[in-house]
Amino acid sequence: MEEVLKLQQKIVPEIVELFEKRYNILRTIYYNQPIGRRVLANNLGIGERIVRTEINFLKSQNFIEISTPGMTITDEGEEIIDKLKDFIHHLRGLSEIEKFLKESLKLRNVIIVPGDLNEDSTVINELGRAASNYLKSVVKDNSIIAITGGSTVKEVIDNMPKVAGLKDILVVPARGGMGKNVETQANTLAAKLANKVEGNYKLLHVPDNLSDKAMSTIIKETDIQDILSNIYNANILIYGVGRAELMAERRGLSEEEIDELKDKGAVGEAFGYYFNKEGKIVHSTPSIGIRNEEIGKIETLIAVAGGKSKAKAIIATQLNNPNGVLITDEGAARELINLFK
């Protein structure tokens, strides 16, 4: 297939360009439906006249419907979007990039979705879908799944289909809660995922950034000891990756602590640990939950992060992680190549 694509790009490059344009229009409608023509044109950054022409074509092929609220995707259009994903993947040479990053980062696997989350917010849906499909492929009877919080991990859980037939699945939050948004906290997401896989869940009602004294007291509680045992014995960990400075601000670190992180060269954050560009931990925030010394024992580590701006953070947190699987987007992947080269 790749040879055919390369020939097409050389002989009739305009066809490839038109193909990608129509795919992007369909995909944007799908994630924003119902959507008007003007909003669609703004989202895609192309003229209304061009959009009007393409919309007329897509409607004639029964891929979209147009009504008063706006445009929506038909069943046939949804099927086309799903089938075209692999083609777009080959068209943009993402398979070769996946192989390069897998070897460079020394990971078990790398999965790349088209687009750049920094430029197109709908790419987070693709990241969530790709990660949930991978999770579905690796979860098995008696699995213990630990998950962190955050909007990216929430997208994974939202896209996870109902899975029947699995036995004795347990879902646990990987660490204490962070932030005021209950919808994206690990406890909420753990309960939601457990429902989708017909499993059980346990909650960890402990906030981040406790004092040493409070933490030493709480950790002695029987219920806390019980869930910590489950967390430490997790088979699968799903987590997001953040830029060090931004995550430090979200976790309420002081300006002095943030300056200290910069001095130590912290560029990436995952599950409360801050990493420098060599992948070494330079700081951690006090919390009850997953510990770095337990991470290496987990069979499957699924990191989900997208956007060109996350590239340095991805290298810092993913380098030399043989059990790691990285789900990222094209924007981050191409920037990773630039950083490696």
Our count of domains for the chain comes to 2
Strand partners, 242: 269
Q: Are residues 76 and 122 in the same domain?
A: no
Domain boundary among 91, 125, 154: 91
Q: Are residues 245 and 335 in the same domain?
A: yes
In tens digits, the chain (341 residues) has pLDDT values of 556 666 766 776 677 788 888 988 998 999 889 999 999 888 888 888 888 999 999 999 999 999 999 999 999 999 988 888 888 888 888 999 999 999 999 999 999 999 999 998 889 999 999 999 999 999 999 999 999 999 999 999 999 999 989 999 999 999 876 556 788 898 999 999 999 999 999 998 776 666 667 777 777 788 888 888 899 999 999 999 999 999 888 887 888 888 899 999 999 999 889 999 999 999 887 778 888 888 888 999 999 999 999 999 999 999 888 999 999 999 999 999 999 98
DSSP state at residue 214: H
What is the amino acid identity at position 144?
I
Q: How many CA atoms lie within 13 A of 207 on its CB side?
A: 10
Provide the pLDDT for residue 5.
63
Buried b (16+ CB within 10 A) or exposed e, 279-291: beebbebebbbbb
Q: Are residues 99 and 86 in the same domain?
A: no
Q: Are residues 48 and 140 in the same domain?
A: no
Range of the domain at 276: 94-340
Q: What is the CATH number of the domain that holds 84?
A: 1.10.10.10
Strand partners, 177: 207
Domain boundary among 29, 56, 91: 91
Q: Are residues 183 and 251 in the same domain?
A: yes
Q: Are residues 85 and 126 in the same domain?
A: no
Q: What is the CATH number of the domain that holds 186?
A: 3.40.50.1360
Q: Are residues 69 and 120 in the same domain?
A: no
Provide the pLDDT for residue 333.
97
pTM: 0.87
Q: Are residues 205 and 322 in the same domain?
A: yes
Provide the pLDDT for residue 302.
97
Domain boundary among 51, 68, 91: 91
Q: Are residues 251 and 326 in the same domain?
A: yes
Q: Are residues 35 and 124 in the same domain?
A: no
DSSP 60-128: HTTSEEE-SS-EEE-HHHHHHHHHHHHHHHHHTTHHHHHHHHHHHHTEEEEEEESS-TTT-TTHHHHHH
Provide the pLDDT for residue 257.
86
Q: Are residues 16 and 150 in the same domain?
A: no
* Separation between Cα atoms, residue 42 and residue 84, nearest integer Å: 24
Q: Are residues 99 and 26 in the same domain?
A: no
Q: Which residue has the tokens 């213990």?
A: 144
Peptide bond into 34 cis (omega under 30): yes
Strand partners, 301: 237, 324
